[in-house]
């Protein structure tokens, strides 16, 4: 191990990262109270002009097909037009995508951003498959943040992280294996430490921690959702990234989601691809 990392060291340097978006923790706090969430959600969104603009832009695209198409200019109308859950997911996605963009070093920005969005969309599609309830919005957050540990490594340990990436290609092993050889921990563990520090819920922390080694945690639905979404984001190659690789898909995770990869998988793939293209389009 060349550069051992500790939880204390990771958390200490995370002070140099941009502030974690408050909107995400605010929305998470409303999830348990669906009756109150309409007003509260609109209030939170309206306090962020960038997110408000994203939500209104999406609503105005939808309004193209309305019989009366005056421009949508407030969050309440947007919610009535495209639905509460889509507005909430749009706000989460725009908020976290902007955060990831500011955290990522320029050279890796495009890849991380696209990969995270596709994994997040995959999580939204897969959450309803879980044989035990998995909250869709928590799944989206976990999917968007699952590789945040890699962003930390790229930002604070750039040279060593590049070596881990090239070792991974050279020896045909997973990036997490190369990272553990160099840092003693992998990006999944680093991401989990950061998620705890940001006050994210236990199931999101577990999902980030377990996305490369999910078998022992596969009875937690969100772990299975994020693992399979991450595998599909690489398998479907929606972003056309040269680094896309699949090593394995966890059998216990597939069982948790009731997936046997029969012919009906084609519909799941198509939905993930269509929604990913839509999300990547409106977030650009």
- Which residues contribute to the site for other proteins (CB under 8 A)? 61-62, 64-67, 81-83, 86, 172, 231, 234-237, 244-251, 254, 260-263, 265-267, 269-271, 273-275, 277-278, 281
Comparing C-alpha atoms, which of 77, 43, 47 is closest to residue 62?
77
CB of 225 to other proteins, least distance (A): 16
CB of 243 to other proteins, least distance (A): 10
**Cβ(74)–Cβ(49) below 8 Å:** no
Closest CB to other proteins among 21 and 143?
A: 143
Whole-angstrom distance, CA of residue 208 vs CA of residue 280: 22
Comparing C-alpha atoms, which of 124, 120, 101, 122 is closest to residue 111?
101
CB of 263 to other proteins, least distance (A): 7
Whole-angstrom distance, CA of residue 142 vs CA of residue 148: 10
220 Cβ contact partners less than 8 Å away, ≥ 6 residues apart: 203, 206, 207, 210
Closest CB to other proteins among 81 and 213?
A: 81
Closest CB to other proteins among 3 and 62?
A: 62
CB of 274 to other proteins, least distance (A): 4
Closest CB to other proteins among 24 and 79?
A: 79
Comparing C-alpha atoms, which of 74, 93, 77, 79 is closest to residue 27?
93
């Amino acid at each position: 191990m060349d550069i051992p990392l500790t939880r204390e060291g990771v958390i200490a340097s995370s002070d140099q990262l941009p502030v974690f978006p408050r909107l995400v923790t605010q929305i998470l706090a409303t999830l348990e109270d669906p009756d109150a969430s309409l007003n509260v959600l609109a209030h939170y969104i309206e306090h962020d002009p960038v997110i408000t603009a994203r939500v209104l832009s999406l609503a105005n695209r939808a309004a193209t097909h309305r019989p009366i198409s005056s421009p949508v200019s407030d969050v309440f109308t947007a919610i009535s037009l495209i639905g509460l859950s889509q507005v909430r997911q749009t706000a989460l996605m725009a908020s976290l995508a902007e955060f990831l963009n500011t955290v990522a070093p320029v050279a890796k920005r495009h890849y991380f951003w696209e990969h995270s969005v596709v994994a997040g969309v995959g999580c939204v599609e897969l959450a309803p498959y879980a044989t035990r309830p998995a909250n869709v919005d928590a799944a989206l957050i976990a999917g968007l943040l699952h590789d945040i540990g890699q962003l930390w490594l790229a930002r604070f340990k750039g040279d060593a992280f590049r070596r881990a990436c090239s070792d991974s290609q050279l020896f045909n092993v997973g990036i997490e294996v190369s990272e553990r050889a160099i840092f003693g921990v992998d990006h999944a563990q680093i991401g989990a430490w950061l998620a705890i520090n940001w006050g994210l819920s236990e199931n999101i922390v577990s999902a980030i921690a377990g996305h490369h080694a999910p078998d022992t945690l596969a009875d937690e639905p969100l772990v299975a959702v994020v693992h399979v979404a991450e595998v599909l984001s690489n398998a479907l190659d929606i972003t056309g990234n040269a680094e896309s690789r699949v090593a394995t898909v966890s059998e216990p995770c597939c069982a948790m989601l009731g997936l046997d990869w029969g012919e009906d998988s084609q519909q799941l793939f198509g939905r993930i691809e269509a929604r990913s293209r839509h999300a990547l389009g409106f977030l650009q």
